[in-house]
Structure formats: C-alpha cells, structure tokens
A and B are shown apart, each in its own frame.
Chain A
Amino acid sequence: MRRLLLMAPLLLAACGDKGIEPPVTAPGDSADSFMEGMAFNVTTEGVRVSRVEAESAWVFNARQINELKKMRVIFYDRTTGKQTSVVTADSGTFNSRDETLDARGNVVATATTGRILKSQHLVYDKVQNQIYSDTAYTFTSPDGNGSGASFVSDPDFKLIRAQRPRGAMSGKGILLPGQRDARPAPKGKGKAP
C-alpha cells in the first residue's frame, strides 16, 4: 500500500501525457453493440447452411458471442440450397468462435417434412452439423408424435437419436395378424333408386 502511495505522483504525472490509449472495451456484462432486426448467414466454404435472424441482438465482441432475442434460425440443404428446417426460440446465444447456437425458451424446430420438435433448450453445432437437446422434448410429425429425455439430430431431422423415447404412431397404422381393413360398403346398397 505504501508503494502505491509512493507511485501515485508518477502515475499522476503520466496522466498528463495520454499517449496511445487502448481501445475501449465494454464490460463483460454489457454489449459492445446492440442491434434490432439482426440477421446474418452462416456459411461453410461459401455455401449458406443457415440463416440466423433475431428481433434484437447484443454483440459481445470479446467473448465472440451474440445474445439473441426472439430468434429464428433457418437451415438449408447444403447440396440443393433448399430450406430444410426452422428453429425459433425466445432467446439464444450464437457463439461465432465455435459457431454454435444455444437456443433457450420455447424452442420449436420445424422441418419441411412436417416434423415439429419442441424443447426448452436446443443447441446447434455447425461444426458437427448437429442439433441436440439435453432436456425433455416433444415432437409431432405426420407419422406420429413422441417425447424423450434428450436427443441429438442433424439439422434436417433425418437422423435423430433420442434418450428414453416414447411416442405414438398416427396415420393409417398397420395391419397386424388378425386385423383386416373394413370392407367398403357395396355401392348403391340401401339407397333409394
């Protein structure tokens, strides 16, 4: 403490000559910039693989993250460029360093095949080209619906791996032994001529 006091005049003297000032950085809990209606594309070798949209975004340059509110991520087929699925969430964090998107709150992933997956937490890992959730999820699709404790999938929901899954088939169902389709009623029978 005494040393600091001794050094104080020197420091004060130095203040008189500002010299080169380091860039001003925001504190860790405050954003470097704030954007409304933010959108950007995520590409791989120049090919767009997804598009991230948010009503508002807080950009933290030092941590290389963007905090997104009311976010929406659109995934595209890398080969055809067609949209494959859309993920919406109350909020999310996009980490531009490892290119992961952490979506939180009412996360809904909708595939163009009609599959809809809902969870409170979902992570998109661009490097692995995976989305996964470590919390309970539910899904619906033209084939049926289900739920599970957690899952890992590709963004197109073509390969889904779930823990402790359950669900129910929908649609026409299948014929098991002993089951037959109902015969259609004969035409014209019972009708007035």
Chain B
Amino acid sequence: MLLILLAGTASAASAQRGKRCLLEFEREAQREGVSVEIPGGNANYYFGGDVRLKCRGQDVRIGADSVESINGDVYRFITKAYYRDADVSIRADTLTYYRQTERIEARGSVVVVSAKDSSTLRGPYVDHTRSVAGVRDSAETLALMRATMTVQPKAAKGDTATRSPYVIVADRLRGYGSSRMAGGGNVTVDRDDLAGRGDSLLYSTGTAGRTILIGAPASWQRTGADSFTVTGREVRLGLTDEVLDDLRAYGDGVVIQDSTRVRGDSVAMRFVDGKLASTEAWGRRGTRAHVTRDGYDIRGDSVSIVAPGEVLEAIRVFGNGMLQNPVDSADATRTAGDSTATAPDRDTLWGTQIDARFGQVDSSGTPLTRVIGITAIGGARSLLTQTVERNGTTTPTLNYSIADTIIISMKPFPGEGFDEVRMLGNVQGLQLETASIGKGAALPAKRGIP
C-alpha cells in the first residue's frame, strides 16, 4: 500500500541501486543563483526562478521556484516543489532533504502519488526517513495533521473491473517499509460500499495482510444489498491479496446484518469471493454470545452461523446454548388488558450444543429460508407451546421436557410448526393442557387408618 509512498521510492532503488544522483539543471534558472563558500571548503548554493533539476542519466526530476543547498547536507526546495521518479511523484509547498539523516520533509499541500497504482497521500505534513543499516531496518513515512490516503486496491487475477479506492483519513499516519502502516486519531476508512471508523489503525500488506481498527468502539460498515455493520473495541480486517476475507471484532463485538444481530465478546466474519460465508461469536467471563434474527434469540458460550454465499445454512451454539422462537403475538395464553399476565411463553430449547439447520424453499418465486430441524445435545431441555386437538376441540398445550438429546423436525413447507420432536436418553417431561386445567387430580383413594 501506499503510506509508504515515499518508501515506495525505495523500490526505484532496485533500478537505481548503486547510482547516486548527480544533479544538473534541466534549463537555466529564471532568476539568479548565489554561491557562498563556507569554511571547510564546502559551499551554500541558492537558486531562484522555476529551478528544474534532474539526476544525470536517471529518471529523477526535482525542482521548485527556489532551491537552496546548505553545506551539501540540506537541500531545500521552496514553493511549488516537486520530486518525480519512475515510482512516485511528490508535490508540496516545500521539500527539504537532509542528506546526513536521509530524511525528506514535505510541508504544505503535500501530494504523493504512486506511479504504480495511482494511490495518493495528501496532507500538510509528510516526513520520510530512509532505512539506514544499524539505525532503521526499514524506511519510515510519517504524515501528520490529518492526512488523507487514497489506496487503489489490488485487482485479483483476471479482474478487469474498475475498483474504487480506499480513502483513509487520520490525524497521524505512519508507514514502515513497504508493508506496514499505522494510523492514529479519529481514523476513517471509506470505500464506496465500505466504511471503517476507529481511534487507531494498523495495516499490513502481503498475502496475509491485516487491517486493524481500534477504537471505543471501532466500526466497519458495508452498505448495499449485502450490508452489515461491525463494531468492537478492536476490529480486524484480514486481507488476502488486498481482498477482504476475514473480519473480526474483539471486545463488545457486534455484527448487524439485515435482521440479524450478533453480539459477543468477540465476533468473526469470514468472506468467500466477497460474500459473507460465516459469522462466529464468543462470550467471555459471564458474557455470552447472543444472536437475534427475525425475533429468534440464540445464546451460548459461542455461536456459529454458517451461510455460504450469504444463504443461511446452519446456526450452531456451543456451551450453555439456548434457542428461543419469536414471541407469538397471537399467543392464546395471553389475555388482552391483563396487567398481571406474565411474559408470554416462547418456544425455547436448551442444550450444551444446539444445531439448527436451514433450507431454502421457493415461495411463489421468492426464495425463503426455513428451519428444517433443530438438535440439542447434552442436558437438553425444551419448552414448547402448541395447540392440539382433544375430542374435537383445540386446546393450547405447554410441554417441558428434559433429555440427553432432543431432535426437532419441522413440517415441510408450506406446513408450519413441529413435525416431530424426538427425545433420547434420560427423558422426563410434563405436558399441560388448558382443557385439563380445573379438573380434579386423579389421586389414589384414601385408606383408613389402621
């Protein structure tokens, strides 16, 4: 990426390795020049009037309205300064090069453009320091005073589509070498359909590049048809060849996508070909992973949502799992206006592990995602409400069951409700029917006292 635009100039080094720059005028200075000999045999030089210099025999050009060279150590390019080589172009109000420390200071309206991919860095303050053996193992670039970096993402092989750039804005941006960058202070990362926010940013390129947004909280948002929002104290984006394939939120992580809300201490999303393939959430120290979707509540030590191609396939809950159906607005057990009525019962399933499977059905040409079946394993419990027919009349029932394993199969579309509930191992249960309420219990006859 670019933050290392100036460091990027180091890439030109490969072509110019072993060459030093012998500056020469491209044309005469339009005003005057002054040479002042100083003690030690060196001289200071001052030139004015659209000074244009180049490195002899190299594709390196540098100039400004005025140029001064102090003792051969400091070269200052003042007003409309520029530097161009095969890899990078720099414009600024002033450019100063310190030869001893091999540092470039660009000040005022700085624009750095990479010739490779047109990535740019803009800001009022940019410093670049070269790598020096024993001092700095890699070149460093520092941009202060709210720099803006526009990064052109690398296109995948065979991808000829125009890709809009990432725009990164931060109070401070610092690049190390040609593969790492850090940002600080109200960091924003935007691309036409993506937006990230955070206090700090870490970015690394390569085959396993990483972008980390840290904030209170940091956020990453994708807009459009498959939009989602991720927030957390730390949001990490995993990039493979600059393509997002992994997104994680650590610390109060929350992912919101459509009607799905995933909350946990940590949340991870994985992408395949740009589409969300899975979402995972973990709890920590008393906090549990929590997923809500279309009124369903899913809680557990950890939750995994498998949705290849953004089509829901399975939801798996591990550790203290709980799955609740949506509130039934037509709950027959509730009485309108009854202030003493308790919260409505919701079909609930508990288990050490819960596995809900989903399938796609066609509803008049519209694909629908439906629950196919649910399995609770280990200390499974279920609380189910249903209406059943008794002697020709329907009556609500409440069923509470305990078993090692509970397997629920749903009626095939377009049917609704449970098709079968199967319980295995250490089964205990209780079923209450409204029709039975008020009836006397069938108790054994009292026996006389002997």
Interface, chain A (partner B; CB < 8 A): 113, 143-144, 146-149, 156-182
State whether B24 touches A160 (Cβ < 8 A): no
User: B16 in the interface, Cβ–Cβ < 8 Å?
Assistant: yes
Binds A, one of B6-14, B218-226, B273-281, B371-379: B6-14
Summarize B's interface: helix, strand, loop or mixed.
Answer: mixed
Question: CB < 8 Å: which of B17, B31, B85 contacts A180?
Answer: B17
Chain A residue at minimal CB-CB distance from B75: A174
> Which residues 30-54 of B sit at the A interface, judged by CB distance below 8 A?
30-37, 41, 43, 47, 49
Interface, chain B (partner A; CB < 8 A): 6, 9-13, 16-25, 27-37, 41, 43, 47, 49, 55-56, 60, 62, 72, 75, 85, 87, 97, 99, 102, 104, 128, 130, 139
State whether A166 touches B102 (Cβ < 8 A): no
Question: CB < 8 Å: which of B10, B28, B31, B41 contacts A178?
Answer: B10
Question: CB < 8 Å: which of B20, B28, B29, B35 contacts A179?
Answer: B20
State whether A166 touches B35 (Cβ < 8 A): no
State whether B21 touches A176 (Cβ < 8 A): yes
A164 partner residues in chain B, CB cutoff 8 A: 28-32, 49
**B249 nearest CB across to chain A (Å):** 38
State whether A165 touches B102 (Cβ < 8 A): no
B37 partner residues in chain A, CB cutoff 8 A: 113, 156-159
State whether A143 touches B32 (Cβ < 8 A): no
A182 partner residues in chain B, CB cutoff 8 A: 17-18
Question: CB < 8 Å: which of B21, B32, B130 contacts A162?
Answer: B32
**B57 nearest CB across to chain A (Å):** 10
B33 partner residues in chain A, CB cutoff 8 A: 148, 160-162, 165
- Given A175-B99, A175-B102, residue A113 in contact with residue B28 (CB < 8 A): no
State whether B27 touches A168 (Cβ < 8 A): no
State whether B99 touches A174 (Cβ < 8 A): yes
- Given A178-B12, A179-B13, residue A165 in contact with residue B32 (CB < 8 A): yes
Q: List 29 A-B contacts (CB under 8 A).
A: A144-B24, A146-B25, A149-B28, A158-B37, A159-B37, A160-B35, A160-B36, A162-B32, A162-B33, A163-B31, A164-B29, A164-B49, A165-B47, A166-B27, A166-B29, A167-B25, A169-B22, A169-B23, A172-B20, A173-B23, A174-B20, A176-B55, A176-B62, A176-B97, A177-B6, A178-B16, A179-B21, A181-B18, A182-B18
State whether B28 touches A148 (Cβ < 8 A): yes
Closest 7 pairs between A and B when the two form their complex, measured CB to CB: A182-B18, A168-B24, A173-B20, A165-B33, A178-B9, A166-B25, A166-B28
- Given A113-B41, A158-B37, A175-B102, residue A180 in contact with residue B32 (CB < 8 A): no
Chain A residue at minimal CB-CB distance from B90: A177
CA distance A163 to B75 in the complex (A): 21
**A193 nearest CB across to chain B (Å):** 28
**B128 nearest CB across to chain A (Å):** 6
- Given A162-B33, A164-B32, residue A179 in contact with residue B16 (CB < 8 A): yes
